[in-house]
């Protein structure tokens, strides 16, 4: 788990889960991972987990945004486009 972004309004975490029985530390090319991105909207206290094709689309959009050296407001605006999917309430354990 790696925190990618944290602002007053949003937090984005990248999550990688190794496939059962895989060994990520070995650097083997057959190591399979699954995972994605969790986006938390701090204002609504809801989050969404993106995986698969949607995660790839999100990543491509972020990479394009980073190329332009965005402001925090531009990043938050991009993330707000995904918060309509956020249905899971944030629960603290």
Q: What are the residue ranges spanned by the domains of the chain?
A: 2-88
> pTM for this structure?
0.76
Average pLDDT over residues 59-77: 93
CA distances from 56 to 40, 44, 49, 51 (A): 18, 25, 12, 8
Query: Higher model confidence: residue 18 or residue 67?
Result: 67
- pLDDT for residue 27 is more than 60: no
Give the pLDDT score at 33. Answer: 64
Nearest to 55 by CA among 77, 34, 41, 84: 34
Average pLDDT over residues 54-79: 93
- DSSP structural state of residue 44: T
Give the pLDDT score at 22. Answer: 56
Average pLDDT over residues 42-51: 90
Give the pLDDT score at 93. Answer: 53
């Amino acid at each position: 788990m790696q925190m990618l972004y944290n602002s007053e309004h949003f937090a984005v975490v990248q999550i990688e889960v190794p496939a059962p029985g895989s060994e990520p530390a070995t650097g083997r090319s057959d190591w399979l991972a699954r995972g994605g991105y969790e986006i938390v909207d701090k204002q609504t206290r809801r989050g969404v987990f993106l995986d698969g094709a949607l995660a790839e689309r999100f990543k491509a959009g972020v990479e394009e945004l980073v190329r332009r050296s965005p402001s925090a407001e531009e990043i938050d605006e991009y993330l707000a486009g995904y918060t309509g999917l956020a249905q899971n309430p944030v629960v603290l354990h």
